Amino acid sequence: MTLVPAPATPAQPAPAASVTVGTEAVTFADVVAVARHYAPIVLDPAALDGVAATRAIIDALASDPHPHYGISTGFGALATTYITADRRAQLQASLVRSHAAGSGPEVEREVVRALMLLRLSTLMTGRTGVRPHIAETYAAVLNAGITPVVREYGSLGCSGDLAPLAHCALAIMGEGEVRDAAGSLMSAGVALAAAGITPVVLAEKEGLALINGTDGMLGMLVLALADLAMLLQTADIAAAMSVEALLGTDATFAADLQALRPQLGQGVSASNLRALLAGSPLLASHAGPEDPTVQDAYSLRCAPQVNGAARDTADHAALIAGRELSSAVDNPVVTLDGRIESNGNFHGAPVGYVLDFLAIAAADVASMSERRTDRHLDASRNKGLPPFLAHEVGVDSGLMIAQYTAAGIVSELKRLAVPASVDSIVSSAMQEDHVSMGWHAARKLRRSIDGLGRVLAIEIMTAARSLDLRAPLVPGAATDAVRRLVRTVADGPGHDRFLSPEIEGVVGLVQCGAVRDSAAGVTGGLR
């Protein structure tokens, strides 16, 4: 499964409220607002004064006859090569040009915008040594809706996301390719001229400061966490619909039972399930001593344990992401007392690990969802529903192959759950001899989240049909709201028809948050 890049951008949404970038860390909400909703950026004047003060330190060192890495030396394995003052502008430009070496499909626009915001945030800490003009130009490019073309491959996640950031740095130099606000591909020079932005000429340290950070992998982590927060609530909705349609019980979700194992995410998920199933006539129809079911299958009974564990994983990832948002990642860095020090803070291991961890969680939530979908279709386990929920058994196949689609995605998600961060490959003549592969962990997580949404959509579509087939019994208000929403894009039971458009329709409802919102509107919110 591969995310399809969307190089041409449709009409942009109305801009969100402005985001101020200064010495304080940008927030998760700021990243989403700028990346997805084109929120305008305002630079804090006091922070710009701090940037200028730090730049004065760099200017003073530029005339020092002793070499200083990134100011008067080459880079990486060439760090011992002294560069004379008359060649340093060329050094910085050459660094950016040579490092803008990406290959493959274009990276999604929202990822590039998130990456750029995070690099700008680091520049505004005053720890990188750039001139204020560099930060102002970077902000102007974002505010103009100009998005540098960044390619899929090029980052090893150590020395940060070098190639992706270099493509962005190249754009503010007026070089390379970009997409304008309308999504049209053009040279950066043309786009900047049309927006009234003057390309920058880099001075000492600035090329290095523009490309040395974990911003790409961190931006994708923040966006993934926003998506997962919604999808895990949707996973609870899907589980509730299946419990109801498969004549399960909500007794196992009782608060006192959940409290015996006080895992935080599990408690949240069980609380959602109780709210979603409250007052369900379908559940009431078979509740009581006469119900022959001793206990439901794991995919129904243990939904809070799996969905909850995924929440706890996301909470841990958010803790790491929050720390990274508060970081000033560059090498060398200007310390608070004015020293220029080399360091290893650009290594992407902290971010790479949690990106991989989230891919594991996404795969497992999807795996449980697919098992519930299969249960709906199996006449030996679905408690009286027709095989494959077919209208005319034998003539119709019902949702048989929709489950195949879900199964194929789950299989792919399991492959994507193999960690990228345990790999390393030597680069830069053995100077950079251990790398994080955090960018690759982030890229596969984006595919995992896309797949999770699709698997949940197939379960929700299947459960909606099962609920229809339980008539005259009716579901509870929250799950019925979702069933009715599904019916706006997918027809109910009937003879076989072209299923792919219906699946894609429900996927759209899941991924935009409409399914979550329809249920939450009845329950008064979900956690």
DSSP one-letter string for 119-148: HHHHHTTT-S---HHHHHHHHHHHHTT-EE
Residue entry with tokens 């992998």: 217
Q: Which CATH superfamily is domain 19-213 in?
A: Fumarase/aspartase (N-terminal domain) (1.10.275.10)
Per-residue model confidence (pLDDT) at position 61? 82
Task: Tell me whether strands 147-148 and 151-153 are parallel, antiparallel or unpaired.
Answer: unpaired
Per-residue model confidence (pLDDT) at position 342? 84
Give dist(CA 370, CA 384) in Å, integer: 20
CA 217 vs. chain centroid, Å, equals 9
Residue entry with tokens 């001593």: 289
Give dist(CA 283, CA 519) in Å, integer: 17
Handedness of CA 98, 102, 103, 108 (dihedral sign): negative
Handedness of CA 167, 171, 175, 180 (dihedral sign): positive
Cα first-last separation, the chain:
30
pLDDT tens by residue, 66-115: 777 777 776 665 666 777 777 778 889 999 999 999 999 999 999 999 99
Residue entry with tokens 């940037």: 51
Per-residue model confidence (pLDDT) at position 85? 77
Among the options 69, 138, 153, 404, which is catalytic? 69
Nearest of 324, 321, 314, 323 to residue 357 by alpha carbon: 314
DSSP state letters, 13-77: PPP-S-EEESSSPPPHHHHHHHHHH---EEE-HHHHHHHHHHHHHHHHHHT-SS--TTTTB--GG
Cα angle for residues 224, 229, 231 (degrees, 5° grid) = 90
Please give the structure tokens belonging to residue 281. 């006539």
- Helix (H) / strand (E) element for 228: namely helix 215-245
344: alpha, beta or left, given left = phi > 0 and alpha = psi -120 to 50? alpha
Q: Residue 258: which residues within 8 A CB-CB, separation 6 or more?
A: 266, 267, 270, 304
Residue entry with tokens 């049209």: 184
- φ, ψ of residue 287 to 5 degrees: the values are -75, 155
Q: What CATH class is the domain 221-523?
A: mainly alpha
Per-residue model confidence (pLDDT) at position 78? 64
Nearest of 467, 461, 468, 483 to residue 247 by alpha carbon: 467
Please give the structure tokens belonging to residue 424. 């390393």
Clarify whether 404 is annotated catalytic. no
Give dist(CA 170, CA 177) in Å, integer: 9
Per-residue model confidence (pLDDT) at position 1? 37
- Helix (H) / strand (E) element for 357: namely helix 349-377
Q: Residue ranges per domain, the chain?
A: 19-213, 221-523
Side chain identity at residue 116, one-letter code:
M
Domains 19-213 and 221-523 share a fold: no
Q: Which residues of the chain have pLDDT under 50?
A: 1-11
Q: Are 357 and 367 in contact (CB under 8 A)?
A: no
Give dist(CA 185, CA 519) in Å, integer: 41
Side chain identity at residue 307, one-letter code:
N
Please give the structure tokens belonging to residue 54. 């730090």
404: how many CB neighbours lie within 10 A of its CB?
Answer: 12
Q: What count of residues does the chain have?
A: 527
Beta bridge partners of 106: 151
Using the CB atoms, write b or e for 61-100: b if 16+ within 10 Å. Answer: beeeeeebbbbbbbbeeeeeeebeeeebeebbbebbbebb
Question: Which CA distances in Å does 176 have to 182, 191, 199, 206, 408?
Answer: 18, 11, 12, 18, 39
Per-residue model confidence (pLDDT) at position 11? 47
- pTM over 0.85? The answer is yes
Per-residue model confidence (pLDDT) at position 243? 98
DSSP at 150: -
Beta bridge partners of 333: 341
